[in-house]
């Protein structure tokens, strides 16, 4: 029987912001006897949410489902000032698990708007991170998703324009949109360092390093995970069939027909154990050789919020 090769992209799975957000909820569940509420999914992964629910976390869509005075965790994707104001008015005990890299984008939005700029946010409509960032300066922020959006864009003062990006975008598509913005607004300003986070960039570069060698790419991640979906799109751009799966149960046997090399990775909110589960499942269909391709090592670690460290 022919041995299949699994090219394992590295880095993959959890990033520092995701690890921090999950640890926030876990520590609160360990230390507090009263219910811990979480607004939205703490990170975009069904397995993570289910595991925390099994330990007692209560996930809600909006704050009106949280009793007055209760503990509520804001997810890694961040929230708008309007949500923070509502929490203050209700006397909620807020624990903020927003990724520090998203917090940086929020600060930039406030700074750019305060100096009178129109803030152009590159991102995906409806994503929680985008909603939170736009809420920092709603009357001065416009969202663009494509180069075509840029072509249609009109602003009050073209000489005072700044841009920001969602942290989980595809690098190549964002570059094209930025080029269009720079061509249209010659004085365009932006952050000193790109807003697309290191983890998103690393996972895309790691997948790009194996995609063309692969007959099939499997991306472990949930459908509402932006960075996971971008990985599938990236594999397609390299001409390789690719599928987004929550776990090994999502793999269809028919996909393996004629496949000798499988590229395997996971989005930044997918637990590493799910990748191991896919490898174990593939072994049921014959011998496999796992070859890890590491393009860089991630050493970033974010400290927990002081409200958690000191509780």
Q: Residue 139: its pLDDT value, please?
A: 96
Q: Residue 309: its pLDDT value, please?
A: 86
Active site annotation includes 129 = yes
Global confidence as pTM: 0.96
How far is Cα 215 from Cα 54, in angstroms, rounded to an integer? 38
Going by the annotation, the residues of the binding site for isopentenyl diphosphate are 44, 77, 127, 225-227, 269
Q: Residue 290: its pLDDT value, please?
A: 98
Q: Residue 2: its pLDDT value, please?
A: 87
Q: ∠ CA(112), CA(146), CA(140), 5° rounding?
A: 25
How far is Cα 20 from Cα 76, in angstroms, rounded to an integer? 8
Positions of the chain with pLDDT under 70? 311
Q: How crowded is residue 5: how many other Cβ atoms within 10 Å of its Cβ?
A: 18
What proportions of the chain, in percent to the nearest 5, are helix, strand and coil?
Answer: 45, 20, 40
What's the count of helices (H) and strands (E) in the chain, helices before strands?
11, 12
Instruction: Give yes or no for a contact between 12 and 288, defined as CB atoms under 8 angstroms apart.
Output: no
Catalytic residue among 129, 233, 252, 292: 129
Q: Residue 193: its pLDDT value, please?
A: 79
For the record, the structure tokens of 182 come out as 């720079």
Three-state DSSP class for residue 267? coil
Going by the annotation, the residues of the binding site are 15, 44, 77, 99, 127, 167, 197, 225-227, 269
Going by the annotation, the residues of the binding site for dimethylallyl diphosphate are 44, 77, 127, 225-227, 269
How far is Cα 214 from Cα 260, in angstroms, rounded to an integer? 8
The per-residue pLDDT for range 157-215, each reduced to its tens digit, is 999 999 999 999 999 999 999 999 999 999 999 998 779 999 999 999 999 999 999 99
In the chain the domains, ranked by start, together with CATH numbers, are 4-14+198-294 (3.40.1010.20), 16-99+303-309 (3.40.50.11270), 101-184 (3.40.1010.20)
For the record, the structure tokens of 201 come out as 């960039």
Say which DSSP state 190 is in. Answer: -
């Amino acid at each position: 029987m022919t041995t299949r090769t699994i090219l394992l992209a590295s880095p993959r799975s959890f990033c520092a912001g995701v690890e921090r957000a999950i640890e926030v909820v876990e520590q609160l569940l360990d230390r507090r006897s009263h219910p811990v509420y979480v607004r939205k999914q703490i990170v975009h992964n069904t397995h993570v949410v289910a595991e925390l629910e099994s330990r007692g976390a209560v996930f809600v869509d909006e704050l009106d489902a949280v009793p007055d005075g209760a503990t509520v965790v804001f997810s890694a994707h961040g929230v708008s000032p309007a949500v923070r104001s509502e929490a203050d008015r209700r006397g909620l005990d807020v624990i903020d698990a927003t990724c520090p890299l998203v917090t940086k984008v929020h600060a930039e939005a406030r700074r750019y708007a305060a100096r009178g700029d129109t803030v152009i946010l590159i991102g995906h409509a409806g994503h929680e991170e985008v909603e939170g960032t736009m809420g920092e300066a709603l009357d001065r922020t416009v969202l663009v998703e494509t180069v075509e959006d840029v072509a249609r864009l009109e602003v009050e003062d073209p000489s005072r324009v700044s841009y920001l990006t969602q942290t989980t975008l595809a690098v190549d598509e964002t570059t094209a949109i930025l080029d269009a913005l720079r061509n249209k607004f010659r004085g365009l300003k932006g952050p000193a360092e790109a807003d697309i986070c290191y983890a998103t960039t690393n996972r895309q570069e790691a997948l790009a390093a194996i995609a063309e060698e692969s007959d099939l790419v499997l991306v472990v991640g949930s459908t509402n995970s932006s960075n996971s979906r971008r990985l599938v799109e990236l594999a397609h751009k390299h001409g390789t069939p690719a599928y987004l799966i929550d776990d090994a149960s999502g793999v269809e046997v028919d996909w393996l027909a004629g496949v000798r090399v499988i590229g395997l990775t996971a989005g930044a909110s997918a637990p590493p154990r799910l990748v191991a589960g896919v490898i174990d499942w593939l072994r049921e269909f014959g011998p496999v050789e796992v070859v890890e391709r590491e393009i860089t090592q991630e050493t970033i670690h974010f400290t927990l919020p002081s409200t958690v460290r000191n509780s």
